[in-house]
């Protein structure tokens, strides 16, 4: 059994925590902001990760490779945010007929959270494949896809905000969806879903 931590040990741990946060903060902020557009949401993720880090660092078992741990925790928090938004109904594509809208939707089918260990594994693999596929997209396609599908923003609002024409935004979203479908199809086939 481990002896209880002394005040010197606790002070050393607090110093280690502070040094790690100071050292990794800017890299971690950049990592999160590349994946989450809204600055407030990005800051929430950052604070959640640091809070989780402090709690985990104070446990008896030390965290090895704190930097890798922080980035893994941030990636997990970002995926959790995408999951929460994915579970909400996708917004309607304003100004697009229902017949044509199929080419603009991803229609990602995820197994339920509580469907057992195999479903949970499949869900994790699919969400990782989605994140990897999103990371592969050109920035302008990824931004349109995330803004529309995950943030629920309308094409009309995006066009007004960015000055990019509605047709260009629609084309970017369509190319993103085609790429994501192709990449996720491989994951579905490997999982035999």
| CATH number of the domain within which 179 lies | 1.10.10.10
Residues 73 and 127 in one domain: no
- Is 142 in contact with 134 (CB distance < 8 Å)? yes
| Helix, strand, coil % over all residues of the chain, rounded to 5 | 70, 0, 30
**C-alpha to C-alpha distance for 154 and 80, rounded to whole angstroms:** 23
Residues 20-69 pLDDT 10s: 778 888 888 888 888 887 788 888 888 888 888 888 777 777 677 778 88
Q: How confident is the model at residue 17 (pLDDT cuts 50, 70, 90)?
A: confident
In a domain, 2, yes or no: no
Residues 173 and 107 in one domain: yes
Residues 148-161 pLDDT 10s: 877 778 888 889 98
Residue after which a domain boundary falls, among 53, 87, 121: 87
Residues 64 and 146 in one domain: no
Residues 106 and 163 in one domain: yes
> What domain range includes position 81?
7-87
Residues 106 and 187 in one domain: yes
**C-alpha to C-alpha distance for 83 and 75, rounded to whole angstroms:** 12
Picking from 39, 33, 1, 56, the residue whose alpha carbon sits closest to that of residue 21 is: 56
In a domain, 159, yes or no: yes
- Specify the number of domains making up the chain: 2
Q: What are the C-alpha distances in Å from 175 to residues 103, 141, 143, 181? A: 9, 7, 12, 10
Residues 91-144 pLDDT 10s: 333 343 333 344 455 555 666 656 667 777 777 887 888 888 888 989 999 999
The pTM is what? 0.45
Tokens of 153: 């923003």
Residue 11 in this model has a pLDDT that exceeds 50: yes
**C-alpha to C-alpha distance for 41 and 71, rounded to whole angstroms:** 16
Residue after which a domain boundary falls, among 25, 55, 87: 87
In a domain, 70, yes or no: yes
Residues 129 and 66 in one domain: no
Number of helices (H) and strands (E), helices first, in the chain? 7, 0
**C-alpha to C-alpha distance for 47 and 32, rounded to whole angstroms:** 11
Tokens of 146: 């995330």
């Amino acid at each position: 059994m481990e002896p209880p931590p002394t005040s010197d040990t606790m002070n050393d741990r607090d110093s280690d925590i502070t040094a790690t946060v100071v050292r990794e903060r800017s890299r971690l902020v950049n990592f999160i902001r590349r994946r989450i557009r809204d600055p407030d949401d990005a800051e929430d993720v950052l604070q959640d990760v640091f809070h989780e880090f402090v709690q985990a660092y104070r446990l008896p078992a030390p965290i090895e490779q704190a930097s890798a741990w922080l980035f893994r925790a941030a990636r997990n928090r970002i995926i959790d945010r995408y999951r929460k938004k994915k579970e909400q109904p996708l917004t309607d594509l304003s100004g697009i007929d229902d017949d044509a809208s199929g080419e603009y939707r991803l229609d990602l089918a995820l197994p339920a959270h509580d469907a057992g260990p195999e479903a949970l594994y499949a869900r994790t693999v699919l969400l990782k494949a989605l994140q990897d596929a999103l990371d592969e997209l050109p920035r302008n396609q990824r931004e349109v896809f995330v803004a529309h599908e995950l943030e629920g923003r309308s094409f009309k609002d995006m066009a007004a905000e960015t000055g990019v024409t509605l047709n260009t935004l629609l084309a970017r979203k369509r190319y993103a969806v085609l790429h994501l479908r192709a990449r996720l199809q491989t994951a579905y086939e490997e999982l035999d879903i």
